[in-house]
A and B are shown apart, each in its own frame.
Chain A
Amino acid sequence: MHSILSRINNASAFLSSCMMALLLAISLSSFILTESPTGQVAISSIKVVSSHARRYSSKKQDLAFVHFNLTADLTPLFHWNTKQLFLYLEAEYENSKGVKNEVVIWDRIVRRKEDANIKFAGKNSYMFRDISTTFKNSASANYTLKYNIMPYVGLLTYGEAGKTTEEIAFPATQSRL
């Protein structure tokens, strides 16, 4: 403590301890500021179309085209430790071989609180297909709107903002759209 350098050393050593405590307190505060927003997921139409598989043009592959409406007010999720939200629509179903599948068919990154009031109507942005190449004999699917809260400091937390009210069956395969 006698010279400037030793004072810098001493004060910054304790500063780092204080900073760690501050960051820990900030990350723990996320557990107090929990909210569970609600939203609606409505599926307006599903079509299953048989097409050629990518890379193997001789094989057939069923593709599902899901049109949906999303409404959710996620503004309560934006507190001081929320950097951004990752929103995604997940289809959950059991395929003909009894495998439970969870497929992300749409997603969005919400960076600002002003953009967190979600009203979206559209179709799946990612190809929705089954590894068994067909949706025939698949069980009905649930569509769930889920989110990740990405914090500035602390743990990534998962949540669910909405779900279809009833399971929706896959329609019969069409040969063309």
Chain B
Amino acid sequence: MSSIQDLTEGRIDFAGQVMVDNISRVALIVSTFIAFCIGFGLQDIRATFAFMAVAIVGLAAVVLPPWPMLNQNPVKWLPVKHKGSVEKKL
């Protein structure tokens, strides 16, 4: 059950989240600009949207799945101390 949840949720670590944010922002801005230039150069609006479609699929493939690249800095939790004392305070 937990493995299915891991697969569908696709958690990544904090450094990975920053990386995804940067990749998607830069890739979208650059591909939008290139798409406009291709369409304007070829005088073909289909080329623009075909390029955008390919770019979106490529970006989704890079950014959406929890690739190992995005999980290189797992959070290191502090070790549990005084297991009993916490319960006493509560």
Which residue numbers of A lie inside 8 Å of B, CB to CB? 1-5, 7-8, 10-11, 14-15, 18-19, 21-22, 25-26, 29, 79-81, 152-153
Cα distance A81–B44 when bound, in Å?
8
* Given A11-B59, A18-B28, A22-B36: 7 more A-B contacts, CB < 8 Å: A1-B12, A3-B11, A10-B24, A11-B63, A14-B25, A21-B32, A80-B44
Contacts of B36 in A (CB 8 A): 22, 25-26
**Residues in chain B near residue A1, CB distance under 8 A:** 12, 17, 20-21
Would you call A18 and B48 a contact (CB within 8 A)?
no
Indicate if the CB atoms of A22 and B48 lie closer than 8 Å: yes
Interface status of B65 (Cβ within 8 A of chain A): yes
Classify the interface of chain B: helix, strand, loop or mixed: helix
A82 → chain B, closest Cβ, in Å? 9
> Using Cβ atoms and an 8 Å threshold, which residues of chain B touch A7?
10, 20, 24, 63-64
Tell me if B43 is interfacial: C-beta within 8 Å of chain A: yes
Closest residue on chain A to residue B30 by CB atoms: A18
Asked if residues A22 and B52 are in contact (CB atoms below 8 Å), the reply is yes
Residues of chain B from 1 to 50 with CB closer than 8 A to chain A in the complex: 8-12, 17, 20-21, 24-25, 28-29, 31-32, 35-36, 39-40, 42-45, 48
Residues of chain B at the chain A interface (Cβ within 8 Å): 8-12, 17, 20-21, 24-25, 28-29, 31-32, 35-36, 39-40, 42-45, 48, 52, 56, 59-60, 63-66
Closest to A82 in B: B45
Chain B contacts for A29, CB-based, 8 A: 40
For B56, the closest partner residue in chain A by CB is: A15
**Considering the chains assembled together, what is the distance between the CA atoms of A14 and B55 in angstroms?**
14
Complex contacts, B9 vs chain A, CB 8 Å: 3-5
- Known contacts A1-B12, A4-B9, A26-B36: A11-B43 contact under CB 8 Å: no
A22 and B64 contact, Cβ closer than 8 Å, known pairs A1-B20, A11-B28, A80-B40: no
- Nearest CB of B to A46, in Å: 41
> Which one of A4, A18, A81 lies within 8 Å of B64 (CB-CB)?
A4
Query: Are A81 and B45 in touch, CB under 8 angstroms?
Result: yes
The 9 closest A-B pairs by CB, nearest first: A1-B17, A4-B10, A18-B32, A80-B43, A11-B24, A3-B9, A18-B28, A80-B45, A22-B32
Cβ-closest chain A residue relative to B46: A80
